[in-house]
C-alpha cells in the first residue's frame, strides 16, 4: 500500500486494493494486534504463563497419557509452584504422539472439530485434534502474527500453501479471515493460475514456501510479467529452512517485505514464532507456547543464546495440550530487546534438525517412509538411494532403486510399468512426486557401516 497524505492525518491517499481505486483511507495507527499481551513486561508474562500452565496441567491431568506422568511428577493440579517445576515432567516425543495421540485428549473425541496430520517417523502420521476453541485461539495467534508484520483488513491475501492435512493452508486461512483480510484460498501448485489470481484480485500479501517463491519467478518470466508491477507488498515465508540471502532475493524480485514464519503441527501449526518489521528474529508467542531450549544430548537447558533443540509446552490449548514436546528443531534466542517494543523473546532461524527428517517442497519426509514403501514391493532389492537436488529452486527428489535379479529383465515396457508403480506408491506415501530410477542389481554403492540412504545436495 503506497502511503501518502499529510503527516498526523487519520487518513492517507492510497489505492484500495479491493476496489482498485485511489481514495482516502483511514491511516492504520494501531501497531499491535493485542497490545496488552504483546508488550507484557517479563515479570507479568511469567505470571500469566504460570497461571496458564496451571490450567493446562489441570486439563492435561484429564488425559490418560498425562495423568500418570503428572501424578508421578507430583504435579497434580495445584502442585505447580514455579515454571521451573515443569522440568519434573518427562519430555513428549513424536513417537509417543504417533502411538498414543488419542490418549493425549483431555476431552471426548466428540468435542473435537478438526484434525491435522504431519509425517510420522515411521511412516504413520502424527495427528493433532482441535476443539472449536482451539481453532479460534490458533486463528487469533496467526492473525496477531500477520498483523505484526503489517497486514491489515484492507489487504488481499493469497494463500499458496497446501490446504488439507497440512496446517499451513488452513492455519493462515483462518488467521487472515480473523484479521479481516480478503482471503484467496489458492492452495499449492498451479503456477500460472497463481499469477492469474494475483493479477485478477490484486493480491497484496502472500503466504508462500520460499523455494517456490523463487521457482515461481520462472513462470513470471514466461508470462512476461514483472512481479514488481503487481500490488504485492508482503510475503510470509516459512515451512522450510531458508537463508537471509534467499529472503532478500524474494524481497527484491517481488518488491515485498518477506517475513519468516515458524510453526509446527504439534503446536497447532503456523503462528508459534513470527518476524516483526525489524526482521531480526522471530518473536515467540510465549503467552501461548512455553519454550525451553535444551541440549539434544543431555536434554539440559543450554545457556541463553546458545543453539539447542526447541521444546514447547502449549499454554492455551484445550483439547490436546502437549507438555515439553521435543520438536527436533535447532535454534537459539537472539540477544537483547527488539526495537518494535514487543517483549517476547526472539528466535534465530531454524538451523537444522536433530533427526533425519527432510523437508521437500515444504513437505516433511522421513527416510523410513521411503524404505517402508520400497520394502513392501517384492521387485525392489535391499539397496536404494535418495538424492535431493534443486533445479530452478524447485526441490527434486531422485530415488534410485535396485531391482531384484529375478525381476530385472530387459523388457522396457515392464520396467516402465514398475517405475510408474513405484513412483505412484511413493507419491501416495510422501505427498511429493519423486523421480524414480531403476538400476541393475548390485550397482548402488554399499557402505561398511550404516548404509547412507540420503544424499542432500541442496544449497
Would you tell me which residues interact with ligand COA (CB under 6 A)?
Answer: 160-162, 166-168, 188-192, 209, 212, 239, 361-363, 394, 431-433
Kindly identify the residues of this chain, within the stretch 250-289, that bind Zn ion according to CB under 5 A. Answer: 276, 278
Count of residues engaged in binding ligand AMP, rule: CB under 6 A: 19
Minimum CB distance to ligand AMP, residue 43 (Å): 30
- The interface partner of residue 338, options being Zn ion, ligand AMP, ligand COA, none and the CB cut-off 5 to 8 Å by kind, is Zn ion
Nearest approach, Cβ of residue 433 and ligand COA (Å) = 4
Q: Tell me the β-bridge partners of 442.
A: none
Nearer CB in complex with ligand AMP: 265/369: 265
Does position 425 interact with Zn ion (CB under 5 A)? The reply is no
Interacting residue with ligand AMP among 60, 160, 198, 239 (CB under 6 A): 239
Residue with cell 497419557: 65
Q: How far is the CB of 167 from ligand COA (least distance, A)?
A: 5
Nearer to ligand AMP, 12 or 91 (CB): 91
Sign of CA dihedral 4, 237, 125, 355: negative
Comparison of 92 and 265: residue with beta carbon closer to ligand AMP = 265
The interface partner of residue 161, options being ligand COA, Zn ion, ligand AMP, none and the CB cut-off 5 to 8 Å by kind, is ligand COA
Q: Among 101, 202, 238, 381, indicate the residue that binds ligand AMP (CB under 6 A).
A: 238
159 touches ligand AMP (CB under 6 A): no
Beta carbon of residue 270, minimum distance to Zn ion (angstroms, whole number): 18
Q: Judged by CB under 5 A, which stretch of 74-82, 166-174, 244-252, 342-350 contacts Zn ion?
A: 342-350
340 is a contact residue toward Zn ion (CB under 5 A): yes
**Part of the chain binding Zn ion (CB under 5 A), chosen from 96-104, 338-346, 403-411, 429-437:** 338-346
432 contact, one of Zn ion, ligand COA, ligand AMP, none, CB 5-8 Å limit per kind: ligand COA
260 binds ligand AMP (CB under 6 A): yes
**Residue (203 or 261) nearer to ligand AMP, CB:** 261
Binding residues (CB under 5 A) for Zn ion: these are 276, 278, 338, 340, 342
Amino acid at each position: 500500500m503506497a502511503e501518502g497524505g499529510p503527516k498526523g492525518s487519520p487518513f492517507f491517499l492510497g489505492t484500495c486494493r479491493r476496489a482498485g481505486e485511489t481514495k482516502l483511507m483511514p491511516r492504520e495507527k494501531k501497531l499491535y494486534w493485542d497490545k496488552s499481551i504483546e508488550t507484557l513486561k517479563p515479570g507479568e508474562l511469567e505470571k500469566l504463563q504460570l497461571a496458564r500452565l496451571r490450567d493446562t496441567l489441570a486439563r492435561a491431568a484429564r488425559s490418560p497419557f498425562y495423568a500418570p506422568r503428572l501424578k508421578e511428577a507430583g504435579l497434580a493440579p495445584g502442585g505447580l509452584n514455579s515454571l521451573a517445576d515443569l522440568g519434573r515432567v518427562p519430555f513428549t516425543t513424536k513417537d509417543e504422539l504417533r502411538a498414543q495421540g488419542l490418549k493425549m485428549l483431555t476431552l471426548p473425541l466428540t468435542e473435537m472439530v478438526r484434525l491435522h496430520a504431519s509425517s510420522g517417523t515411521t511412516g504413520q502420521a502424527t495427528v493433532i485434534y482441535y476443539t472449536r476453541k482451539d481453532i479460534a485461539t490458533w486463528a487469533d495467534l496467526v492473525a496477531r502474527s500477520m498483523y505484526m508484520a503489517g497486514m491489515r483488513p484492507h489487504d488481499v491475501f493469497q494463500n499458496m500453501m497446501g490446504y488439507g492435512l497440512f496446517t499451513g493452508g488452513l492455519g493462515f486461512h483462518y488467521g487472515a479471515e480473523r484479521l479481516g483480510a480478503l482471503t484467496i484460498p489458492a492452495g499449492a501448485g498451479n503456477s500460472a493460475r497463481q499469477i492469474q489470481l494475483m493479477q485478477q484480485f490484486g493480491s497484496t500479501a502472500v503466504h508462500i514456501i520460499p523455494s517456490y517463491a523463487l521457482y515461481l519467478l520462472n513462470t513470471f518470466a514466461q508470462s512476461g510479467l514483472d512481479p514488481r508491477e503487481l500490488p504485492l507488498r508482503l510475503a510470509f515465508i516459512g515451512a522450510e529452512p531458508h537463508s537471509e540471502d534467499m529472503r532478500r532475493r524474494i524481497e527484491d524480485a517481488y518488491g515485498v517485505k518477506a517475513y519468516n514464519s515458524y510453526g509446527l503441527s504439534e503446536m497447532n501449526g503456523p503462528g508459534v514464532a513470527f518476524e516483526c518489521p525489524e526482521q531480526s528474529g522471530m518473536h515467540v508467542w510465549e503467552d501461548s507456547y512455553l519454550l525451553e531450549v535444551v541440549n539434544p544430548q543431555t536434554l539440559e537447558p543450554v545457556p541463553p543464546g546458545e543453539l539447542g533443540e526447541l521444546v514447547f509446552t502449549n499454554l492455551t490449548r484445550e483439547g490436546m495440550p502437549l507438555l515439553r514436546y521435543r520438536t527436533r528443531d535447532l535454534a537459539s534466542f537472539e540477544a537483547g530487546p527488539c526495537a518494535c517494543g514487543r517483549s517476547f523473546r526472539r528466535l534465530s532461524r531454524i538451523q537444522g534438525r536433530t533427526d533425519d527428517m527432510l523437508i521437500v517442497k515444504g513437505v516433511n519426509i522421513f527416510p523410513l517412509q521411503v524404505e517402508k514403501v520400497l520394502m513392501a514391493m517384492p521387485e525392489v532389492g535391499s539397496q536404494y538411494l535418495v538424492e535431493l537436488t534443486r533445479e530452478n529452486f524447485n526441490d527434486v527428489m531422485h530415488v534410485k532403486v535396485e531391482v531384484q535379479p529375478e525381476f530385472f529383465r530387459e523388457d522396457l515396457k515392464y520396467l516402465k510399468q514398475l517405475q510408474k508403480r513405484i513412483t505412484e506408491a511413493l507419491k501416495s506415501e510422501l505427498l511429493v512426486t519423486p523421480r524414480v530410477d531403476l538400476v541393475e542389481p548390485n550397482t548402488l554403492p554399499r557402505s561398511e557401516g550404516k548404509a547412507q540412504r540420503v544424499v542432500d545436495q541442496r544449497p
